[in-house]
């Protein structure tokens, strides 16, 4: 197997290029959507779609209620994976890594950027908990709207974000007759090693 040590920023630069292409394509309604896979305490995997809110060479960030199932599973087992798939571009990016909580400052900054109703929703939602009827949620929304009337909505202590620090990033592009192209980057020590994979 042939591997090559490359510039540290290369996989992130390639991600930026592909991500920009997806963001600029009007056929893609939500280019930031990514599948997040976690593992439960009894080793059962689960995945769901979340939204990428920022990324750099440190990793890929999303935000959530810390009492949600995904957050609780991450806090128990930080090994996760992400997957972007832009079908109209015939491109996919898989990321394997470790999820770490973002700093309070990062969480505060992003929370402030959200629409006010989204901020209220963060307070009102008991994410992943059972709801007896929809009116319960509406009542909670009304309660927090009144609580924060005429003042800024502060970030709940149970709401924050995670940064997925990658150890593997794989780029896949579709080829004719299922002869696809796959390039994998793996973090080894302080450097990325790249290799080409059979489809």
Residue 115 backbone dihedrals phi, psi, to 5 degrees: -60, 150
- The pTM assigned to this predicted structure is 0.92
The predicted structure's pLDDT at residue 189: 85
Tell me what pLDDT residue 6 has.
59
> Alpha-carbon distance 189 to 8, whole Å?
11
Q: What is the mean pLDDT for each group of 10 consecutive residues in the chain (199 residues)?
A: 67 97 97 97 96 96 97 97 97 98 97 97 95 96 97 97 98 90 93 93
CB 173 within 8 A of CB 181: yes
DSSP state of 109: H
Query: Is 82 within 8 Å of 36 (Cβ atoms)?
Result: yes
Write down the pLDDT at residue 5: 59
Q: What pLDDT is attached to residue 190?
A: 82
Instruction: Identify the pLDDT of residue 184.
Output: 97
- Please tell me the predicted confidence (pLDDT) of residue 182: 95
**CB proximity list for 95: less than 8 A, separation 6 or greater:** 60, 81, 82, 83, 164, 166, 168, 169, 170
Distance of alpha carbon 193 from alpha carbon 56, whole angstroms? 18
Active-site hit among 48, 69, 178, 182:
178
pLDDT of residue 158: 97
Domains of the chain (ranges, CATH numbers): 4-111+157-197 (2.30.110.10)
User: DSSP string covering 132-153, please?
Assistant: S-HHHHHHHHHHHHHHTTTSPP
Q: What is the pLDDT of residue 7?
A: 67
Does the annotation count 58 as an active-site position? Answer: no
pLDDT at 3: 60
SS3 78: coil
């Amino acid at each position: 197997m042939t591997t090559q040590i490359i510039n540290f920023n290369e996989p992130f630069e390639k991600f930026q290029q592909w991500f920009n292409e997806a963001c600029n394509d009007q056929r893609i309604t939500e280019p930031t959507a990514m599948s997040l896979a976690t593992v439960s305490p009894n080793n059962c995997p689960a995945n769901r779609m979340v939204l990428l809110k920022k990324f750099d060479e440190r990793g890929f960030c999303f935000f959530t209620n810390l009492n949600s199932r995904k957050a609780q599973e991450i806090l128990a087992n930080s090994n996760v994976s992400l997957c972007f798939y832009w079908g109209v571009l015939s491109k996919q990016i898989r990321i394997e890594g470790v999820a770490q909580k973002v700093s309070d400052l990062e969480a505060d900054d992003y929370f402030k950027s959200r629409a006010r109703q989204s901020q209220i929703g963060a307070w009102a939602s008991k994410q992943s908990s059972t709801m007896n009827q929809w009116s319960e949620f509406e009542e909670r929304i009304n309660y927090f709207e009144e609580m924060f009337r005429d003042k800024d909505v502060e970030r709940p202590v149970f709401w924050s974000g995670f940064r997925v620090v990658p150890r593997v990033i794989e780029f896949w592009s579709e080829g004719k007759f299922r002869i696809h192209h796959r390039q994998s980057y793996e973090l080894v020590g302080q450097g990325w090693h790249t290799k080409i994979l059979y489809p």
